[in-house]
Structure 1
Amino acid sequence: MAVKSLKEFLAATQEKDLSSDAFELESPYMLEVRVDGRVWAKSGAMVARKGAVKFTREGVLERGVGNLLKKLATGEGLRLMKAEGQGRVYLADMGKKITLLRLEGDSVFVNGNDVLAFEDGIDSQITMMRKVAGMMAGGLFNIRLSGQGIVAITSHYEPMTLPVSAQTGPIFTDPNSTVAWSGTLTPEVVTDISLGTLLGRGSGESLQLKFAGEGWVVVQPYEEVTFQTKP
């Protein structure tokens, strides 16, 4: 690896202003948010800030009673914070790769652990997979994001998108590797009894998500365990 002078290092790592959007990637792992009003972000994701920006945890009933009840039912949930004011905020999440999605009236479901930030104009609703909740401690929760604006999601390494259609047939994924899917799809939780018997009762592969219809699903080359199996 070539040794850089201090001047070269500072020039290479200096923040960039290449876009007029509120969200801009400083690197594949660092997001700059230009706050002018309010933005929602994953709690604890801030690594730096400048300007008059105030951070507040999401209120108990801020996103409605329905979201609160689903959080209580699952015993978990995406912890959000509000960044309000004027300034710049820099966000990251354990070195995970960040992808920016611009929603134009679309909707997308994202694994609750993979939501990094979204603009204030985006509507967010918690959804829960009931069958998983019955089999796993805490269940599996997701966030439905819809409307107009930019959403930042994260993944371990490079994500891969699989198209889902009647021609391709259903797609089966590991819940711990599933990052997001189109709002047109409703996954079904299925259990592979033979695989579970072969690999042992605690095998994550015995529990899968089945996607059928028309849309797409995003997976990552990593199994991110966000819940544990019941004994």
Structure 2
Amino acid sequence: MGKFSLNEFVRKTQQDDQENDYFELETERVLEVNLNGDVWSKMGAMISYTGDIKFERERVLEHGLGKMFKKALTGEGTQLMKASGKGRLYLADQGKKITVFDLNKESICVNGNDLLAFEPSIEWDIRLMRKMAGIMSGGLFNVTLQGTGKVAITTHFEPLTLLVKPGETVYTDPHATVAWSGNLTPEFKTDISFRTFIGRGSGESIQMAFSGEGFVIIQPFEEVYMSGES
């Protein structure tokens, strides 16, 4: 197990040239973008490419003044990179598992640290989690994506989707919360009694509370976010 000749290894791990979807999971941890135009991705996610592709850091006013101010308030937030041209682009993020969604006039909110890539047809906006400012050292924002097109997110290990039903509030650890349906607006609560067991910020347990009808995606890993401040 795990021993190959060089030819066997190449055959087992090489890219599949027959796949031609716009977003294609080359492996569960590598996203192939069959690019013929533009795509937005997380800064630093490019690991390889072929063809004629140019990369450009998101300009300050690329998405309008309002989003620039939100990024400043969140300590940069998620920096985006635009890839333009024609070719094959390979994206990954620290070996995290990748999931691709096809949005059809739908919306999803994604933790800014867990957004990998999305089509230019997708509209997006940054939402600040103001109530968590001063409690957590980072991860204070999420990105709302809506419209029609493909979105790729990342998780540590296998994600689990929790259904939110009317009258049944779902509580999650913010560090383990990846995404949720766009119609839900989480509330935040602190619980001093559990501070010994949960929470990484001020010593209090910070929980996200989801009420209504929708879904929440969590991961079996508490991710510590890095502040955007130097």
Q: TM-score range by the shorter chain?
A: over 0.9
Q: CA contact under 8 A between 2:137 and 2:225: conserved in structure 1? A: no
Of 19-28 and 189-198, the range deviating more from structure 2 = 189-198
C-alpha deviation, 1:76, in angstroms = 3.1
Residues 154-200 of structure 1 show CA distances to partners (whole Å, capped at 9, x for unaligned) of 00000000000115x10111111000000110000111122227779
Once the two structures are superposed, the pairs formed by residues 1-231 of structure 1 within 5 Å of their partners are 1-17=1-17, 19-138=19-138, 140-167=140-167, 169-196=168-195, 202=201, 206-227=205-226
Of 10-19 and 22-31, the range deviating more from structure 2 = 10-19
Cα distance in 2, alignment partners of residues 199 and 81 from structure 1: 34
Cα distance in 1, alignment partners of residues 200 and 155 from structure 2: 27
Q: CA contact under 8 A between 1:133 and 1:139: conserved in structure 2? A: no
In structure 2, runs of 5+ residues without a counterpart are: none
Runs ≥4 in structure 1, deviation > 4 angstroms?
A: 197-205
- SS for the counterpart of 2:3 is coil
Cα distance in 2, alignment partners of residues 205 and 19 from structure 1: 48
- SS for the counterpart of 1:135 is coil
Residues 20-40 of structure 1 show CA distances to partners (whole Å, capped at 9, x for unaligned) of 321101100001101111000
C-alpha deviation, 1:69, in angstroms = 1.0
Amino acid at match of 2:193: S
Q: CA contact under 8 A between 1:97 and 1:154: conserved in structure 2? A: yes
Amino acid at match of 1:186: T
RMSD of aligned C-alpha atoms? 1.9
The number of aligned residues is 227
Residues 114-171 of structure 1 show CA distances to partners (whole Å, capped at 9, x for unaligned) of 001111111111111110124334561100011111101000000000000115x101
Identity percentage of aligned residues: 56
In structure 1, runs of 5+ residues without a counterpart are: none
In the superposition, the TM-score normalised over structure 2's length comes to 0.93
In the superposition, the TM-score normalised over structure 1's length comes to 0.92
